[in-house]
Amino acid sequence: MNLKKFIAATAIAMFVQGASAQFNMPTQTFTYDHPYAVEKLQVPKGKKVKNVILMIGDGMSLMHVYTAWTCNRGKLWLENAQTTGLSKTWAANKLITDSGSGGTSLACGVKTNYHAVGVTPDGKPQTTLVDIAKQLGKDAGIAVTCRLWDATPCDFSCHNIDRDKEEELVGDYPTSNLDFAFGGGAQKFTNRKDGRDIFKELKKEGYHVSRTLDDFFSWNKNSRIFAVPYDVDTPLPDERGDLLARASMKGIELMNRNKNGFFMMIEGSQLDDYGHFNQLDMLMKETLDFDQTIGRVMKWAAEDGETLVVVTADHETGGLTLVNGDKNEGRVECCFSTKDHSGAMVPVYAFGPGSENFTGIFENTDIFFKIKKLMEEK
C-alpha cells in the first residue's frame, strides 16, 4: 500500500471510529414505579378568557414529554390539551437561548440577549404579563420549584441585563406588580452585601411574608403573600411530593377571589437542572411531577370554564433522545447529546377558551402577544 492509500485508509478508519463514538452515546435506563391515573377532561364551554395560567417546563422538549408518556404507561394529563404548536426560542444575540432570554420572550414579548432578564438588548425594562394583568385589574402570581432569584420567575417580575446579578434581581420584588409568589431562595433576601432586608421591605409594601409551609398553607386573608420557605431550591421530587401542585392551587384559590380574574405563571423549574446533569431518573420524576401539576390545574380550569391554560418551555436542555423502552412496563432507555441547552423548537399546548390561537409554528414572543390580546378582550 502506497503512502497516499495508507493516509486515506487511516482517515476513513478515524472517521468511522469518530462517527461510532458520536452516534453510540452512553444510554441510561429508568423505570417509573408509581404510575398515576389520568382522566379525560370535559372541554370548557365558556368563551371569555378571565384567567390565564402559563405553565413553563424549564428545558422541556417533545422528547421529554414522550419519554414521560412512556414512563406513565402511555398516558399524561397534558394530552387533554385541545391544541398544540411549536415555538422558536432563539435569542437576540445567540441561536441557543437560556431561561433569561427565553423567559423574557414569553413574559415581555421581546427577543433579548442571552442572560438578560425582563429587558431589551440595550437594557430597557419591559412591561410583563404580570404588569398587564395588574393594569387590567387582575391579580398576578408565580409559583416555582427553584430559587426566586432564578431567571424564569425574575423574567416576569424583575429587570436586569445579567441574570447572575441575583441580589439586584431580588431587590426588584418589593416594587414588582406581583400579588402572590411561592418559591425558594430566601438566602438572597437577607444578609445581603447591600445591607437590605427584602423581607422587611415586602412587609412594608403590604405583603404577608411566609417562611414555613404551615404558615403558607394556612394563610387565607388575601392573595398578597410572598412564601419563601426554603433557603435555596425546594426539595427533590421524592421529598417534596406534590408541593408544586399544592402551592399552585393555593395561589389559584387566593387570586380567584378577584372578580376581574388573574394571571399566573407556574414553573416546573428543576427539569432544567437534571437535563444539565444528564440524569434521566430525576429528569423523568420532575417531568412527571410537572404533568401531575398540569392535571390539577387543568381539572380546575375545566370546572371554571373561563380559564386558559398554556403549557410550554423556554428552551430544551440536554438533547434528550428516547432510543428504546416499553410503555407497558414504564421503562425507557435514553441518551443525551449535550449538558447544555439545544436549539430544538419546544412544544406549546393550550386548554380552555382561546386555545385555538396556539396552533402552528411561531416565535416564542408570539405567546406573549396571544395571551395579552386574550386578556384584554372584553
First-residue to last-residue Cα distance in the chain: 81
CATH code linked to domain 27-376: 3.40.720.10
Give the residues across from 210 on adjacent strands: 227
Q: What is the pTM of this model?
A: 0.93
Interval 312-317 mean pLDDT: 98
- Check residue 123 and give left, alpha or beta (phi > 0: left; psi -120 to 50: alpha): left
Whether the predicted pLDDT of 245 surpasses 70: yes
**Under 8 Å between Cβ of 99 and 58:** yes
Q: What is the pLDDT of residue 230?
A: 97
Whether the predicted pLDDT of 199 surpasses 90: yes
Which has the closest alpha carbon to 180: 128, 239, 248?
248
Tens digits of residue pLDDT in 315-366: 999 999 999 999 999 999 999 999 999 999 999 999 999 999 999 999 999 9
Q: What is the pLDDT of residue 264?
A: 98
Q: What is the pLDDT of residue 112?
A: 98
Which has the closest alpha carbon to 71: 289, 342, 239?
289
Q: Number of helices (H) and strands (E) in the chain: give both, helices first.
A: 13, 15
Tens digits of residue pLDDT in 71-121: 999 999 999 999 999 999 999 999 999 999 999 999 999 999 999 999 999
Tens digits of residue pLDDT in 248-265: 999 999 999 999 999 999
Residue 36 C-alpha cell reads as 398515576
Q: What is the pLDDT of residue 25?
A: 83
Q: What is the pLDDT of residue 19?
A: 37
User: Containing H/E element for 99?
Assistant: helix 99-108
Whether the predicted pLDDT of 126 surpasses 70: yes
| Size of the chain in residues | 378
Q: What is the pLDDT of residue 24?
A: 64
Residue 116 C-alpha cell reads as 438578560
Whether the predicted pLDDT of 16 surpasses 60: no
The pLDDT mean for the chain works out to: 94
Q: What is the pLDDT of residue 45?
A: 80
pLDDT level of residue 47 (50, 70, 90 thresholds): confident
Q: What is the pLDDT of residue 23?
A: 53
Between 238 and 36, where is the model more confident?
Answer: 36
Which has the closest alpha carbon to 147: 7, 267, 18?
267
Q: What amino acid is encoded at 56 in this protein?
A: I
Residue 99 C-alpha cell reads as 431561561
pLDDT level of residue 368 (50, 70, 90 thresholds): very high
